[in-house]
Structure 1
Amino acid sequence: MSQVSQPLIVRSLVCHHHVDMAILCLGSLLKFSSEPLHLVIHDDGSLTDEDIDKLKTKLSDSDASNRCAEVICRSEADELMRQHLRLHPNALKYRNMNVLGLKLLDIVLLSAGDMAYCDSDILFLRPFQKMFYFPNPETSAIFQMDCREAYAVFPWKFLRQSPIKFLNNTDTSLRYAIGESQHVGLISKVNAGLIFIRKTAYDLDFIEWLISQNIFNHDSYWHEQTCWSALAHHIGSRQWHPQQVVLVQSKQSITDQTIAAHFVSRYRHFLGDFSNHVNHSWHNINPIAVETISSKNCNLFNLSLSLMRYKLGIWKHNAMQKKLLVCD
């Protein structure tokens, strides 16, 4: 008798304003995955009782293998994480100050095994298989590929950071110290919207040490993604093929090869143009295997160039807004 594979738990951090989008996008994940999945929704602290009931109802299916397993309320998570982080004060402080700390810390530490994560703004467009699958023992994590180096670091600080080495010490505050064995680096173009990581490779002591360093700039939205990139460099990673898992920048970003499309806030207005794909009949379409590619290290030039382009984009946007106000 053939064994039925246990559903893989996929986690997602959801807020009140994104409930309907989460139902659409996470529903497409459940629909198009050829492997059985369970969803665990992490409340960012804004979900109402009505939101939770709606998520559980809409993301349930008559097939018990693809049913929303649970919603972890913020108050429940806070209590659990105080215990998990009792020896990691920097991580706990970061979690209390930045809601994306729940994504950096909770989703792995509250997982029993290897952790799969999917943002609530990623729409799956066709049947797929082997997305949450490690291609070899050397791969400890897989991430989506971004279109730029979206990190919140001062390049001249981060890439000139003193090397560190591992100390065999039970005191986590002493586990990483100045030494000569290993440089901290970044993986190029990591996007933390889609993640698969081995629980055994997740290094909380490294994250605790990294958060304590004076390397972050003021773009707090990117702190969490920067930590993931540094961890990816630290433990060994790959990235999903960018033609299959796409960061949407225009309608033309989505092609016949696209399996999943990530509609980040700046381009989220395109989501409605593709939402009907979920309702198409795909019964006669074989699932496509999701491929991964080797990750590359981020370098000082690309990191600096990306930061300058980002700042220039903000300046142009603000200038345009001022011009519109003057015209009004």
Structure 2
Amino acid sequence: MAQLSKKLLLAAPRGFCAGVDRAIQIVEKALTKYGAPVYVRHEIVHNRYVVENLEKKGAVFVDELSDVPENVPVIFSAHGVAKSVPAEAEEREMFYIDATCPLVSKVHREAERHDKDDMEIILIGHKGHPEVIGTMGQLPDGRIQLVETVEDARNYNPAKPEAGLAYLTQTTLSVDETKDIVDVLKKRFPHISSPKKEDICYATTNRQAAVKELAKHCDGVLVIGAPNSSNSMRLVEVANKAGCAISEMVQRASDIPWKKLEKCQTIGITAGASAPEELVEEVVDAFRKRFDITVEEITNSEEHVTFKLPRVLES
């Protein structure tokens, strides 16, 4: 019997962004320079495959600095940390390297600048996400107010109406949903201060635009990523809102929902910003074993962004 055929469309860009690539390099170079073990506070990026590969090389992932023994290097994750974390490290005289994505650090500096100008600050983001915890932790409790939804924006009441108002955003949000929230805030507070340059990172924006384009040509979309990865979860939502009824998150090829994809002839595949290309290849290979496939790439934009490593690792 002839093998069934499927068409796979790969989104471009997909997978690693410059901040994730830099963070992983920081751990690998620290292991080379200082030897194992190197401790990392929280997952360096939200992807178990990446974390487990680094563990095999000698990285040890912990929840808090209190879990780190004396006289070993410790790295802070790409999502950024509250100011209390490096303060604790310095108090313990620990050697630490900050792998915070430079685009997240930009949001931190914006928060400090607005606070210095005595402005009331709104952060658009998801409660409990490490990036949000880190950004809110740049200032004393209560200085930054979290807005998660359009409804929150409609109900928001400034504590100091006479003060200036500014908003910041988590870097990995849905572009469209964030725009809806910002539109409400700007309508209610016409003089609200916006970021000088968009806070949502280039990679998040590009991957969401690529998935919108992908969804036009597919009857199913698979997003390779992790359920605790904000940018990956947003890709599933974007594909669904773009008209793809079957939009699924998979961490590995073993998670592919074959039954749901039975009637899909054209399947789009993308990967969140913390998912490596090896996992894309693994998923494609899984399809190849079951079907006669054709593979095509749909390029929506090109990326050439790189970030420098910390000086301590450059030598």
Q: Could you say whether these structures have the same fold, taking a TM-score greater than 0.5 normalized by the shorter chain as the test?
A: no
Which structure has more relative contact order (CA 8 Å, sep 6+)? It is 2
- TM value normalised by structure 2: 0.28
- TM value normalised by structure 1: 0.27
